[in-house]
Structure 1
Amino acid sequence: MNFILYSDINDSSISQNPAQPDSSDLLLKAYRPLLETLGRVHIVHSVAAVDPLYRQLLSAGQESVCLSFNPPQTTPFDLECPTVCVVAWEYDSIPDEQWDNDPLQDWTRMLAKHGRVITLSSHAAAAIRRSMGDAFPVLVLPAPLWESFAAIREQHASTPVNAGTTLTVKGCIFDSRLMDLHPDNLLPEPLTAEEQAEIEARLEASRPPPLTLKRRYVIARHFLRLWLLNLGHEQTPPVPRVRFLQNWYWEGLHDLLPERLHDWLGKRLPTIAGPIPVPVVAPAPRELPDTSVEVQTHIDGVVYVSAFSPTDGHKNWIQILTAFCAAFRDTPDATLVMRLTQSDLTDVYEHLITPMAQLAPYACRVILIVGDLDDREHARLYQAASFYVNASHCEGVCLPLMSFMACGKPVIAPDHTAMQDYIDESVAFVVGSSLEVSIWPHDPRGLHRARRYRPDWGSLKKAYENSYRMATTQPQDYQHMALAAAERMRNYCAVPALQERVADFFGLASHAGNVAQVTDNASC
């Protein structure tokens, strides 16, 4: 069997837009070693390359299937090559209706055309079966991550309290210990009397002269001249001629009319007597740190790690930060490392630096890492962690959470959506949550068609406190939970545990026991 893998997001697109967070390329790379034990793997970077490769392999008497790591609405359904969509989905229902006259948005149509689907969790499988029926072929196939972290597990035993680790990052690091964080620093310095007088003088100087009859005549003549000059001339973009009448009305006539008459004109002649749009002036650019240099930080104590994009609201990172600072306001050896997967520092300042200052003062330490970690530094971060923290509203797949557990790290996380397959009290401090209405994230109508979960902030704070207590006073219990987390991932996402599922789904039962690596798999 030949597996042709395709994703819109790949190394090339990521290099062009590194701020775009997407897990599809990571999933493709994670699936590759598993599929290579069952056949040949070909990675293509455009849909147009699928069918030519399929015909080439078919002429050689070889079967193929295309696995699309794109959502159903962007996965092609008219290829000659049999196509299966790999869906990471976090809601309790799938889009079963179209919008904007686009039938592709109806996943039930798209999945029916494909005839089967692969999901990453039993939660997503249940959502699909609610719409497609229990008989629809669905393969639940977690991302096979276990083998990727064998070296870290062999080189490092999880410890509850970190004696000290130095991380090197190409980017920048924000450390609450080194920043002048205090709520009062968010307030501007009061103006002196001289500064206030200077501002008032500038405002007075900028006032227009009084609107005498002569000046009103000049204003009317000016806009009439612009109107006539605009006649018969193509402009890009074109200037509506009524704009000149609108400007003349507001600058030369509006103040002469009573408010009641102005309101009446505004309703009947909105293009002329309606308000003039005010252009949005972008704020002055902030002086941002240089992200092209290597910087270091030293972390120790009980270390909590979380990874997210500041603009990804469903990760619920604000609760991760606020509950941590509340739980450890007087605990100096508690450290929260927030690994940001988006490199736009403007978003970091807007979404994170201000909340950090609003929460101050606190004795615990918060570190924001923005930038690239190579494989060695990634390994150090895995080893440095005492716990990984997740407080998401929903998850289609949480690769960082699974990765830290595969490294033998206990976690703090809810047990809903994709996480319900592997999170329980033997491997995690479970964060309580309750259902709330939500929308399909790509639905521009914003209609409530789905449900997600609302994590309980008090439960998250309690999980921080209980985990810290375990790390500092119950090291044996910590070790038991760490071993249980690693064992859970071995049973959940190791290649041998998933081979038979894939072989049965694609009718390769005779190859289920074949784990020999195919050596001639290359990107196409």
Structure 2
Amino acid sequence: MLIIIHSETNQHTIAQNLGRSEYSYYFVLKEYRPVLERLGRVVEVRDPQTEVDALYLECLSRGEGCVFLSFSPPHRTPVNFTCPTLPVFAWEFSTIPNEPFDSNPLNDWRTVLRACGAAITHSSYTVDAVREVMGADYPIIAVPAPVWDRFSARGAHLQRQPLASQVRLKLKGLLVDSRKLDLRAFGPVALREGVGINFKAPPSEQELVLNGVIYTSVFNPGDGRKNWEDMLSAFCVTFREVDDATLVLKLTHHDAEEALDDILHHLYKNQSYRCRIVLIYGYLADADYEKLVQATSYVVNTSYGEGQCLPLMEFMSCGKPAVAPRTTAMIDYLDADNAFLIDTTAELTAWPHDPRRAFRTLRYITNWASLCRAYQLSYDVAKGSPDRYEQMSVHAVASLKKFCSQTAAEQWLNVFFERLLENRAVETPGA
């Protein structure tokens, strides 16, 4: 069987696309690829319009099955190919787009999903949302990006201790430390003074030393779903008088000033605090990323919803318990034994690509007081209950193995593809 794969962002464009729409699909494709290669021949194409059907016709000529996996949301998935096409997509809202808008009939995802006849997503939450409008028997499967093997291997030799002690890591880029920053430079525009940051300076080598109880979050600050404002303000309030609590924000974006400017202003607004806030904008080599994971006590997520959340899955696969809400895709792998759970409230919102901003779906708002409690409880465990921390760490690894290991992904995809071959005659009859 030939499995054709494509995402709009690829290895040649990822650097300039960081933080832009749909960039994360490339990382999902990369994680899927080793599993797909166990199930068939894999070819990654750069121009689906000219390559996909040509490859499909070659397969037909020799009696070989063929399918095209488009790592993209349905409205960006082509439906004009002869080759069987499946969108592989993430979604974090309670409903899928079920009406056309912006003069594009494909924005009604029902049109695409009917044309494709099947789909792959990453959570049971999204499967339920699709089947709500497509019918209970619509062929869709939840297969998260299989990150567990790679990150559990990294975590296997890390000490499962909740407190960091003089962990040093190097990066090439911009490092902002609240204890070394003149925050006056990021106050209200009319009142700014002091020394700011030269965002135009070339990237330089930086060293970061981490100690104490470390909370880490990896996200794109331009992604409106991430709700980093609550994450930051609750941290500053909870640990206002605590010296050894540190929040590390590893930021993924293509523009340093755009990524950091608003966060720096919030650092100014939340003064004063004795806890430490560290912003990392730049490249971490694998060894130093591993040191960041090693130093981390807890991985943090305060988003309005997640299609799967690769950083959360990665850190938990390494044995790092979470501080996060149990909503959307996170329902599949978070529980009270591997995370300090944050309460949420449902709120009406719009689908993110709908220019009308019409309320058609739900997102989940963080309960700020609950987030403060989760911070405090997790800190208390890190400082005073090493046995409980160890149990949570072990359970995090086990939970993520069940959710996003390569073995699990291979089993689910193998059964799914076999059913497609049987029900839709993906293979040439008689082959």
Q: TM-score, normalised by structure 2?
A: 0.92
- 1:331 matches 2:333: no
Q: CA deviation at 1:499?
A: 2.1
Q: CA deviation at 1:156?
A: 0.9
Q: How does 1:59-98 map to 2 (within 5 A)?
A: 59-98=61-100
| 2:168–2:209 CA contact under 8 A, matched in 1 | yes
AA aligned opposite 1:53: L
Q: Describe the SS at the equivalent of 1:429.
A: strand
Unaligned segments of structure 1, at least 5 residues: 192-284, 511-524
| 2:127–2:142 CA contact under 8 A, matched in 1 | yes
| 1:19–1:343 CA contact under 8 A, matched in 2 | yes
| 2:236–2:273 CA contact under 8 A, matched in 1 | yes
| 2:102–2:355 CA contact under 8 A, matched in 1 | no
Q: What is the CA–CA distance in structure 2 between the aligned matches of 1:25 and 1:116, rounded to whole Å?
A: 21
- 1:458 matches 2:369: yes
Q: How does 1:400-415 map to 2 (within 5 A)?
A: 400-415=311-326
Q: CA deviation at 1:476?
A: 0.6
Of 86-95 and 489-498, more deviation after overlay is shown by 489-498
Give the alignment partner of residue 285 of structure 2, picking from 365, 374, 377: 374
The residue aligned with 1:307 is: 218
Q: What is the CA–CA distance in structure 2 between the aligned matches of 1:428 and 1:150, rounded to whole Å?
A: 17
Q: Describe the SS at the equivalent of 1:296.
A: strand
| 1:396–1:417 CA contact under 8 A, matched in 2 | yes
Q: What is the CA–CA distance in structure 1 between the aligned matches of 2:123 and 2:111, rounded to whole Å?
A: 21
Q: How does 1:277-316 map to 2 (within 5 A)?
A: 287-288=198-199, 290-316=201-227
The residue aligned with 1:265 is: none
Q: Describe the SS at the equivalent of 1:408.
A: coil
CA separation of 1:72/1:330 partners in 2, compared to 1, >3 Å: closer, same or farther?
same
The residue aligned with 1:354 is: 265
| 1:117–1:138 CA contact under 8 A, matched in 2 | yes
Q: How does 1:178-197 map to 2 (within 5 A)?
A: 178-181=180-183
Q: Describe the SS at the equivalent of 1:87.
A: coil
Q: What is the CA–CA distance in structure 2 between the aligned matches of 1:407 and 1:286, rounded to whole Å?
A: 34
Give the alignment partner of residue 498 of structure 1, picking from 404, 409, 420: 409
- 1:99 matches 2:101: yes
User: Runs of 4+ in structure 1 displaced over 4 angstroms?
Assistant: 182-191
Q: What is the CA–CA distance in structure 2 between the aligned matches of 1:339 and 1:16, rounded to whole Å?
A: 18
- 1:114 matches 2:116: yes
Q: What is the CA–CA distance in structure 2 between the aligned matches of 1:176 and 1:441, rounded to whole Å?
A: 33
The residue aligned with 1:485 is: 396
The residue aligned with 2:426 is: none
- 1:417 matches 2:418: no
- 1:28 matches 2:38: no
| 1:183–1:360 CA contact under 8 A, matched in 2 | no
Q: What is the CA–CA distance in structure 2 between the aligned matches of 1:298 and 1:365, rounded to whole Å?
A: 12
- 1:37 matches 2:38: yes
AA aligned opposite 1:434: T
AA aligned opposite 2:97: P
The residue aligned with 1:13 is: 13
AA aligned opposite 2:10: N
AA aligned opposite 1:345: A
Q: Describe the SS at the equivalent of 1:379.
A: helix
| 1:181–1:361 CA contact under 8 A, matched in 2 | no
| 2:16–2:254 CA contact under 8 A, matched in 1 | no
Q: CA deviation at 1:425?
A: 0.3
The residue aligned with 1:522 is: none
Give the alignment partner of residue 168 of structure 2, picking from 166, 169, 172: 166
Q: How does 1:204-215 map to 2 (within 5 A)?
A: none
Q: Describe the SS at the equivalent of 1:337.
A: strand
Q: Describe the SS at the equivalent of 1:11.
A: coil
Q: What is the CA–CA distance in structure 2 between the aligned matches of 1:171 and 1:183, rounded to whole Å?
A: 20
Q: CA deviation at 1:403?
A: 0.3
Q: What is the CA–CA distance in structure 2 between the aligned matches of 1:421 and 1:178, rounded to whole Å?
A: 40
Q: Describe the SS at the equivalent of 2:225.
A: helix
Q: CA deviation at 1:190?
A: 11
Q: Describe the SS at the equivalent of 2:336.
A: coil
Q: Deviations over 1:20-51 (max 9, x none)?
A: 26210000001111111211211111212111
- 1:128 matches 2:116: no
Q: What is the CA–CA distance in structure 2 between the aligned matches of 1:392 and 1:158, rounded to whole Å?
A: 26
The residue aligned with 2:429 is: none
CA separation of 1:485/1:58 partners in 2, compared to 1, >3 Å: closer, same or farther?
same
Q: Describe the SS at the equivalent of 2:360.
A: strand
Q: CA RMSD in A?
A: 2.1
| 2:152–2:397 CA contact under 8 A, matched in 1 | no
Q: What is the CA–CA distance in structure 1 between the aligned matches of 2:408 and 2:128, rounded to whole Å?
A: 21
AA aligned opposite 1:74: R
Q: What is the CA–CA distance in structure 2 between the aligned matches of 1:379 and 1:359, rounded to whole Å?
A: 30
CA separation of 1:82/1:170 partners in 2, compared to 1, >3 Å: closer, same or farther?
same
Q: What is the CA–CA distance in structure 2 between the aligned matches of 1:183 and 1:7, rounded to whole Å?
A: 40
Q: Describe the SS at the equivalent of 1:305.
A: strand
Q: What is the CA–CA distance in structure 1 between the aligned matches of 2:40 and 2:239, rounded to whole Å?
A: 51
CA separation of 1:189/1:502 partners in 2, compared to 1, >3 Å: closer, same or farther?
closer
Q: CA deviation at 1:312?
A: 1.5
Q: CA deviation at 1:158?
A: 1.8
Q: What is the CA–CA distance in structure 1 between the aligned matches of 2:237 and 2:324, rounded to whole Å?
A: 18
Q: TM-score, normalised by structure 1?
A: 0.76
Q: CA deviation at 1:289?
A: 5.6
